[in-house]
Amino acid sequence: MASIFDQQTIDFISHSEAQTRRFGARLGELLKGDEIIALEGILGTGKTRWVQGVAYGLQVEDHITSPTYTIVNEYHGRVTLYHIDLYRVSHVSEAMDVGLGDYLYGDGVCVIEWADRVAEVLPPDHLWITFHHLDETKRRITIRAVGEYHRNLLKEFQHLTFAARGI
């Protein structure tokens, strides 16, 4: 487990599905490949909307849907996006059998819905994003960066997304 000094966390509110996609797009604009983004939250909290935004930021032109039945969808933009949905996976070994390790250590961006099911096999450097329902449209989003690379990425995201403009 990483120490508190290896982590950085930001917490914010999304007021709509469109805003959740925009936040995801801001992150996608910063991604270069080799990033691991773990998503956690119950059904309907915005995980797939976030991935749609990330894809937009990566200049993916395909329509993004949740790969619940296929487990992995691969999309090509300026960097390859591996969208993994582990909703139907009940054990880490099952995820590894479908090649999760190859995606985790590939050269694209790996975004995993239901990542809590495989937390113990994630590389030590990653983003962990948790989505919570606040009401019908609002979501609380918490992003925790673990490891130096993803801490720096989160700082860039925070600056790009929330820094005061024109001051």
Cα radius of gyration rounded to whole Å, the chain: 15
pLDDT, position 114: 93
As a whole number of angstroms, the distance between CA 141 and CA 128 comes to 10
Supply φ then ψ for residue 94, to 5 degrees.
Answer: -65, -45
Do 88 and 72 contact (CB within 8 A), yes or no? no
What local confidence, expressed as pLDDT, does residue 7 receive?
64
Closest to 105 in 3D by CA, of 3, 158, 33? 33
What is the DSSP code string of 58-98? TT--SPP---TTTSEEEEESSSEEEEEE-TT--SHHHHHHT
Distance (Å, rounded) from C-alpha 98 to C-alpha 119?
A: 16
Domains of the chain: 12-161 (3.40.50.300)
Q: What is the pLDDT of residue 19?
A: 96
By CB neighbour count within 10 A (0-12 exposed, 13-18 middle, 19+ buried), where does 148 fall? exposed
**Contact of 16 with 150, CB cutoff 8 Å:** no
pLDDT of residue 5: 47
Model's pTM, two decimal places?
Answer: 0.90
Q: Could you list the pLDDT tens digit for every one of the 167 residues in the chain?
A: 444 445 699 999 999 999 999 999 999 999 999 999 999 999 989 999 999 999 999 999 998 988 767 788 999 999 999 999 999 888 888 888 888 888 888 889 999 999 999 999 999 999 999 999 999 899 999 999 999 999 999 999 999 998 755 44
pLDDT of res. 1: 42
